[in-house]
A and B are shown apart, each in its own frame.
Chain A
Amino acid sequence: DVKVTQSSRYLVKRTGEKVFLECVQDMDHENMFWYRQDPGLGLRLIYFSYDVKMKEKGDIPEGYSVSREKKERFSLILESASTNQTSMYLCASSSATSGSYEQYFGPGTRLTVT
Chain B
Amino acid sequence: KQEVTQIPAALSVPEGENLVLNCSFTDSAIYNLQWFRQDPGKGLTSLLLIQSSQREQTSGRLNASLDKSSGRSTLYIAASQPGDSATYLCAVRENDMRFGAGTRLTVKP
A: residues with CB less than 8 A from B are 4, 33, 40, 42-43, 45, 48, 58, 88, 90, 92, 100-108, 110
Q: Which of B42, B97, B100 contacts A103 (CB 8 A)?
A: B97
Are A105 and B43 interface neighbours, CB within 8 A? yes
Q: List 14 A-B contacts (CB under 8 A).
A: A4-B43, A42-B89, A42-B101, A45-B96, A48-B96, A90-B43, A102-B34, A102-B46, A102-B49, A104-B46, A105-B36, A105-B43, A105-B44, A106-B43
> How would you classify the secondary structure of chain B's contact residues: helix, strand, loop or mixed?
strand
A45 to B89, CA, bound (A): 15
B: residues with CB less than 8 A from A are 31-32, 34, 36, 41-46, 49, 51, 89, 91, 93, 96-97, 99-102
Chain B nearest Cβ from A64, distance in angstroms: 16
A40 to B93, CA, bound (A): 21
Residue of B whose beta carbon sits closest to that of A40: B101
A88 to B43, CA, bound (A): 9
Residue of B whose beta carbon sits closest to that of A59: B96
Chain A nearest Cβ from B104, distance in angstroms: 11
Given the complex, which residues of B lie within 8 Å of A103, measured CB to CB? 34, 44, 46, 91, 97
Q: How many A-B residue pairs have CB under 8 A?
A: 48
Q: Which of B43, B46, B100, B102 contacts A108 (CB 8 A)?
A: B43
Chain B nearest Cβ from A92, distance in angstroms: 8
Are A42 and B42 interface neighbours, CB within 8 A? no
A51 to B102, CA, bound (A): 30
Q: Which of B32, B46, B51, B99 contacts A43 (CB 8 A)?
A: B99
Q: Which of B45, B51, B97, B102 contacts A100 (CB 8 A)?
A: B51
A102 to B51, CA, bound (A): 10
Given the complex, which residues of B lie within 8 Å of A104, measured CB to CB? 46
